[in-house]
Amino acid sequence: MKKSITITCLLLLLFTGINAQKLVLKVDEHVENRNFIETKLAGFIADKSLQNSGYQINMLLDKNLPTEGYKLTVTGKIIHILGADKNGLLYGMYELMQQVRFKGSLAKVTAISEQPRMAFRAIKFNLPYMAYRTYYSITQHDLVCRDVKFWEKYLDMMVENRFNVLSLWSLHLFHYMVIPKNYPEATQFNQFEMGEWKNLWTSIFRMAKERGIETYIINWNTFVSPSFARAHKLALYNERPSHFGVGDTSKIVEQYTKEIITQVINEYPDLTGLGITLGERMGGQSTDERRAWLDRTIFAGMKEANRKIKFIYRAPLSADKGSGGSTSEENDLGTRKQIEGLD
C-alpha cells in the first residue's frame, strides 16, 4: 500500500513538471530599447499563471512594416510581435499586455496589425515654471512636476496611448536646467539645487527616449530669467511676466540667449529638440526683424552646439508689428524661406 502511494505521488510530480512549462521571452538583440522592453515584460509576466503558461513570446524587428507599425500573430503557444522599429515593438508589446489584461490569459490573445495614421502625435504640457499663465490651476502642480515618479507614470500613459512627442512649454525654462557659464546670475539656484533640477530633466528625457517619445522644450520670445533681468536692470517685464509689448533685444540679451541654448543642448543629450513661438514680447519689430533675431540667438546657439537637434517652428502670431492676430502671404513665405535655410 505504501509503495502504491509513493508511485502515485511520483506520477503527480512528473505531470506537474510537464504542465508547468516556463514562459520563454526572446527580444531582438538589435532593438535600441531592449532593456526597457525586457524590464516591462518581466513585470507583466510576474503573475505565476503567465510564468507557467508554456508560451513563447518572440519580439523581432521587421523593416518591411510601415514606420512605427507592428504585427502580432499567434501560432499555438508561440506569439510573434513584429515591429518596424523600436516604437513598433513597444506598441505591439503594449497591445499584448492590454489583451491579456482585458481577456485574462495568453490563450485568448488574437492576431492584430496596426500602423499610425499620423506621424506626429504630441502632448502640449504647460509647465508651472515661469509659466505662461500664473493661475493657481497651474502653480499648484509645482511639486508634482518635480516628482520623477509622476513623470514615469505620465510617460507610461503616453506610450500606452501611442503618443510619441512630449512638448514642455515655458516662457523661459533654461535657467531651471543649467547655470549659464558666463551668466551665473541668471539662475537663482546653487550647485546643489541645480543638481536636483538636472536630475529631474535628465530622468524625464531618458525615460521618454526609452518609451520612443521625443522631447521638446518650447519657449516664447523674448524672455529671460527674472534674476538675469534684475541683475542687468533690463527686460523687467520678466519679473512678473506680461506677454505683449516690446521685447528687449539688446546685445547682452542676445548673447545670453545664444549661449544658454548651446549649453542646454550640450548638457542634455537625450533632449530631442527645441521650439519657439514667434510673437509674444516681439512687438514693435517687423517680421524680418523677428526672424533676424532668431538667426542671431536661437539658431546661432543651435549651430554652436556639439550635436544637431530637431526644431519646432510655430507659425508666427502676427504679420505686422503687433503681438498677434494677423497673417500675410509675404510673412508666410518669409517664414518658409527661413525654415528651408536651416541646416
Nearest residue to 55 via CA among 16, 108, 15: 108
Rounded CA separation 210/233 (Å): 43
pLDDT of the residue at 8: 32
Residue 4 confidence (pLDDT) above 70: no
Burial class (CB in 10 A: 0-12, 13-18, 19+), 63: exposed
User: Model's pTM, two decimal places?
Assistant: 0.90
Residue 329 confidence (pLDDT) above 60: yes
pLDDT tier for residue 9 given thresholds of 50, 70 and 90: very low
Q: Stretch 23-44: mean pLDDT, rounded? A: 89
Angle at alpha carbon of residue 267, lines to 29 and 247, rounded to 5° = 130
Exposure pattern of 74-107 as b/e (b: 16+ CB <10 Å)?
beeeebbbbbbbbbbbbbbbbbbbebbeeeeebe
Query: Can you count the helices (H) and strands (E) in the chain?
Result: 12, 10
Give the DSSP H/E element, type plus range, for residue 219. strand 214-220
pLDDT of the residue at 191: 96
pLDDT of the residue at 41: 87
Nearest residue to 120 via CA among 322, 267, 310, 299: 310
* Contact between residue 92 and residue 83 where contact means Cβ atoms under 8 Å apart: yes
pLDDT tier for residue 22 given thresholds of 50, 70 and 90: confident
pLDDT tens digits along 275-306:
998 888 888 889 999 999 999 999 999 999 99
Residue 10 confidence (pLDDT) above 70: no
Q: Stretch 62-91: mean pLDDT, rounded? A: 97
Percentage with pLDDT > 70 across the chain: 94
* Contact between residue 244 and residue 283 where contact means Cβ atoms under 8 Å apart: yes
Residue 18 confidence (pLDDT) above 70: no
